[in-house]
Amino acid sequence: MATLQTAKEEIRRKADIVEFISQFVQLKKAGKDFVGLCPFHGDNDPSFTVSPDKQMFHCFGCKKGGDIFAFWMAYHGGSFPEAMKDLAERYHVPIESEAWSPADQRRADKREALFRINEAAAAFFESRLKDGVAGKPGRDYLQSRSVSEDVRSSLRLGYAPDNWHGLANELKRRGADLSAAAEAGLIAQGERQGYYDRFRGRIIFPIFDTRKKLVGFGGRVLGDGHPKYLNTPETPVFHKGAVLYGLHIAVNPIRQSGRVVVVEGYMDFLTLFQAGLSEVVATLGTALTREHIRSLKGCAKEVFLVFDADAAGRNAALRSLPLFLQEGMQARAAELPPGEDPDSLVRKGGLASFNHYLENAPLLFDFFLAHKARVESPDHIEALMATLKEVLPVLAEIQEEAPRRLYVKRLAEHLHLQEEIIWPELAKVSGVKQTSTPQAAPIETVLIEKETAKRFGSDLQLLNLVLHHPEKALELSACQWRCLAADRAVIEIIEIIFRHCDSRQPPSYEELQDRLDSDEARMILRETLIRPSFFSEADALLAVTEFKHRIEQKEIAASIQKAKAEEDIDIHALDRLRKLKAQRLAELTKA
């Protein structure tokens, strides 16, 4: 069995970070690297870069980055022990138990306990559904909705009998930790001693994350009870606003088709899934969130929203528009006939009737305009202004100049207005100066860029040379090179490289990041490694010579200052130093 460190290194050797991250982010080749939209922030232009050579990722927008372990933890919200265990299983690397940090171990243990108790509950619900007597109400309901046994089995559907203590007693009989079951939202503490079941008299829908870990449950009541749908409450492993029902089995079909159909509920999902639509997911009785959209960006190019054909469903689609605009993802809204939902439509006319509405679904922005910008005549000034008040706050959410200009043009065409009329009104809403032509960068941005250049001018040149041409830059390790750099993070990186650059063999990215102490240093390391070299091979030699000259100039200048500070100034020695400084400066200028 491998130790923790050797297992970590073995996983890094076996894993292809591009292949791994491609499961969650759509990547495109860009030179020697791959780029995509960052899954960790609202990214409209690809700022997320993956380097196969360095086996690392870095986002130039939000600055997140690191190796395959860092991506796993950031994307799944888990701890390092969980990442280590999952990746070790994925790449068939055996590991032996080794001490983690106490905080990481506690977090991993708690999450693992919740996963185990969820699995035990799912087994109970599945067994109850199959039970000849106890499960009959559940089976009758599913049969009435034409849900096949194959679908029940593949989605692990279950049934919670209308019993206050069925699951609690079963878990107690098995010796399970009831406090963990309570934390998982399966049972609750009664006013008196003892626990009672949260899910009673309901069809149970197990909810999985994209790793196919069972994170929670949804329950549909039989009869007229309330609430109609009940979900697991928020837990350390279940966050309703971040999970989409069915995504764990839909992700590959979504990738293949390039589209995803989003519906409102479990039964709509079941009907479409059984009818043969594989690229479908469902929200959990909540509005579509930014986290939902980001999870879909990694596998889909286009989203089709299919909500109920009523005011609530229509408003849910309309409310999602700002999120799609912010995330730079294209969405369409399929509006079904009044009184219909995906389940009823497919039952009546089959999947073909449903696909008809997908094929004719307008872009979400056009759908928004059709419902929010209904103006009978362009002469109705008050109606036009009311429409602008509805639409402009949505446009104000768009940060990128190009899409903002396109949407303003679309709005102007829809309302039969000149764009010049819309821009000033948009400026009032957004608080940012807007015109029909691109503006120069704000003065704050210019100042920040100048400050960055001032801070890292020679620092990053030196670091770029050391990282991309270590065999040549190693000459500088014997000089007082620290006088060339002002930034502590840059100095930290170069010190480690020179310290561990044995036999002119530089340390790998993995070795460097493990040895660096600060997150800022790791960020600068990633960005410098991903950026190309500033120097050709020939220029690298000249750069080393120039840096050595600069070091000597600084040393001479320091000697002159020291000589001036002495009580008995040696005029002749001071003059020699000044001449040497002028000579070296002339040589540097000539070079």
Choose the final residue of a domain: 348, 369, 390: 369
What are the beta bridge partners of residue 505? 502
Q: What is the largest CA-CA distance in the chain?
A: 109
Q: Which residues contact 464 (CB under 8 A, 6 or more apart)?
A: 528, 531, 533, 534, 535
Count of structural domains, the chain: 5
Cα–Cα distance measured from residue 261 to residue 306, given in angstroms and rounded to the nearest whole number = 7
> Considering the entire predicted model, what is its pTM?
0.78
Cα–Cα distance measured from residue 331 to residue 487, given in angstroms and rounded to the nearest whole number = 45
Cα–Cα distance measured from residue 513 to residue 66, given in angstroms and rounded to the nearest whole number = 8
Tell me, what's the pLDDT at 444?
A: 36
Residue 61: count of CB within 10 angstroms of its CB: 17
- Are the beta carbons of 191 and 276 closer than 8 angstroms? no
Same domain, 583 and 563: yes
Same domain, 96 and 132: no
Same domain, 131 and 172: yes
Same domain, 534 and 575: yes
- Are the beta carbons of 351 and 342 closer than 8 angstroms? no
**CATH classification of the domain holding 300:** 3.40.1360.10
Distance, first Cα to last Cα, the chain: 58
Domain-located, residue 16? yes
Choose the final residue of a domain: 192, 215, 238: 238
Interior CA angle at 460 toward 472 and 471, to 5°?
10
The 3-state secondary structure of 145-164 reads CCCCHHHHHHHCCEEECCCC
Tell me, what's the pLDDT at 115?
A: 96
Tell me, what's the pLDDT at 242?
A: 92
Tell me, what's the pLDDT at 573?
A: 56
Same domain, 454 and 559: yes
Closest residue by Cα to residue 496 from 521, 515, 470, 510:
515
Tell me, what's the pLDDT at 542?
A: 85
- Are the beta carbons of 242 and 295 closer than 8 angstroms? yes
Residue 239: count of CB within 10 angstroms of its CB: 15
Same domain, 41 and 87: yes
Burial of 574 (0-12, 13-18, 19+ CB in 10 A): middle
Tell me, what's the pLDDT at 87?
A: 93
Same domain, 215 and 292: no
Same domain, 400 and 360: no
CA 283 vs CA 95, 243, 269, 389, 562: distances in Å: 38, 8, 10, 29, 72
Cα–Cα distance measured from residue 520 to residue 505, given in angstroms and rounded to the nearest whole number = 25
Same domain, 91 and 127: no
Domain-located, residue 438? no
Same domain, 144 and 90: no
Domain-located, residue 513? yes
Cα–Cα distance measured from residue 479 to residue 485, given in angstroms and rounded to the nearest whole number = 13
Residue 520: count of CB within 10 angstroms of its CB: 15
Closest residue by Cα to residue 423 from 441, 442, 438:
438
CA 308 vs CA 124, 221, 338: distances in Å: 33, 19, 9
Choose the final residue of a domain: 209, 238, 267: 238
Q: Which residues contact 47 (CB under 8 A, 6 or more apart)?
A: 35, 37, 38, 59, 60, 61, 62
**Domain containing residue 404:** 377-430
Same domain, 260 and 281: yes
Residue with tokens 């969650």: 24
Give the mean pLDDT per block of 10 residues along the chain (591 residues): 78 94 93 92 87 94 94 90 91 76 82 95 97 95 95 97 94 93 94 87 96 96 89 94 95 95 95 97 89 91 90 86 87 92 93 95 90 62 79 82 85 86 86 48 39 56 89 85 86 88 70 88 92 87 84 74 60 57 57 52
Closest residue by Cα to residue 489 from 514, 535, 525:
525
- Are the beta carbons of 246 and 150 closer than 8 angstroms? no
3-state secondary structure of 228: coil
Domain-located, residue 439? no
Check the CA dihedral 391-396-399-404 and report its sign. Answer: positive
Domain-located, residue 207? yes
Tell me, what's the pLDDT at 374?
A: 62
Same domain, 117 and 190: yes
